[in-house]
Every structure is written in structure tokens, then in C-alpha cells.
Amino acid sequence: MLELVKAGGWPMLPLLLLSAIALAIIVERFWALRRKSVLPPGLGSEVRTWASRGNLDPAHIDSLRGNSPLGALLAAALDVRNRPREEIRERVEDVGRHLAHRMERYLNALGTIAAAGPLLGLFGTVVGMIQMFLGIMDYGVGDVNQLAGGIGKALVCTAAGMVVAVPSLMFHRYFRARVDSYLVDMEHEAIQLMDAIDPRARRVAAAAPQG
């Protein structure tokens, strides 16, 4: 591996830096976007039980807010639980946008790395070709070492750019999809909570078996 890096020359340095940053982002996002830390199991039903029993003191809601992104979304709904349903929905949507932004942290950087990797690889290729042609100008076409060095630098940089870009792109798409899935589940839990704290919805649910 070290020999390949040496063969690629100095254009390999930014590629190595980008690969290290991409790896750090991937590990951090895997840890931050664990399902149990975003959507703790049973939290939604537990909060609905609190709401139905009236156990909603401010300290309880603040504790819920710091529990997880789902807890923060449900706490936002409970903060305005005595307002009309449309106002509760607007608050949930506003908080949901902030939570989505938080869960997508560093993903733009990962997407940028995925886009920049091939360009840096192409840059290394151009540098290698320039080196090769300068070698031809200085030593003629008879110096095989100069030709091989330039071609080798071009190929190594191109390959390195792809190695950085492809995993970055794959994980960027993967984390985007995971965040979208979490947002759908969080919205579902918020709607269920709004139904639980809406007196009209409770009356309809109570009257349904009788009809």
C-alpha cells in the first residue's frame, strides 16, 4: 500500500485526507443513527400512556426532550397540547425539520467527498501525464523508467479517486435513506400522540364500538 501511495506522488495526499475524513464521518453516523438512539423502542406508546393519564408536568416533558430525536418531537407536540390540532401539527413539522437537519449532519460533506474523489483522481492523472511528457521532452522516448513513472502515477491516482468516491457515495445514499425512514416513523408516532391528546379523536374512538 505504501508503495502505491509513493507511486501516486503528492496528488495522493488530498485523496488520503479525504478518505480519512470519509471514514470518520461513516463511523460517526453509524453510531449517531442507531435506531435505538433515534427511535427508542416503546417510547411512543409510553408517552401516549402519560398523556392519557395526565402525567405531563414540565420536568417530565423536558426529560423526554433530551431522550432522543423522537422524544424531542413528541415533547414539541406536548408543549402545545392545549392548542388546536393544526397548531400542534405546525409545531411538529417545524421541530421535525430541525431534527432532520441534525440527523443529516456531515452527510453533505460525505456527498462532497464522493463528488470530489474522482476529480482529484483525474487531477492526479493529469499531473502524471504532464510528468510523462516532460520526461519525454528531457530524455526522449527511450527512457522507459520516466514513461512508466508517469503512467503509474496517472493510473494510481485514478484508482485512488474511485476507491474514495464509491464507498462515500454508497454510504451517503444509505444514510439519507435511513434518515428518511426514521422521519416517516417519527411522523407516525407524532400523529398517534396527537390523536391521543385530541379530545375529539378520543370521543370518536370511544363511540366507534357502539356504532
**Domain span at residue 60?**
2-199
Domain count, the chain: 1
Task: Give the pLDDT confidence score for residue 205 in this predicted structure.
Answer: 45
Do residues 196 and 52 lie in contact, with contact meaning Cβ atoms separated by under 8 Å? yes
Q: Is residue 210 part of a domain?
A: no
Query: What is the rounded distance in angstroms from the CA atom of residue 140 to the CA atom of residue 191?
Result: 75
Q: What are phi and psi of 186, to 5 degrees?
A: -65, -40
To the nearest 5 percent, what fractions of the chain are helix, strand and coil? 85, 0, 15
Q: Is residue 211 part of a domain?
A: no
* Distance between first and last Cα of the chain: 74
Q: Is residue 44 part of a domain?
A: yes
Do residues 81 and 88 lie in contact, with contact meaning Cβ atoms separated by under 8 Å? yes
Residue carrying C-alpha cell 445514499: 173
Task: Give the pLDDT confidence score for residue 203 in this predicted structure.
Answer: 47
Predicted TM-score (pTM) above 0.85: no
Do residues 6 and 151 lie in contact, with contact meaning Cβ atoms separated by under 8 Å? no
pLDDT tens digits, the chain, 211 residues: what are they? 566 566 666 778 888 899 999 999 999 999 999 999 999 999 989 888 888 877 677 888 888 888 899 999 999 998 888 888 888 899 999 999 999 999 999 999 999 999 999 888 888 888 777 777 776 666 665 556 656 666 766 778 888 889 899 999 999 999 999 999 999 999 999 999 888 887 654 444 445 555 4
Indicate the burial class of 149 (C-beta count within 10 angstroms; 0-12, 13-18, 19 or more): middle
Coil, strand or helix at 84: coil
131 to 2, 16, 32, 119, 139: CA distances (angstroms): 21, 21, 45, 18, 12
Query: What is the rounded distance in angstroms from the CA atom of residue 26 to the CA atom of residue 32?
Result: 10
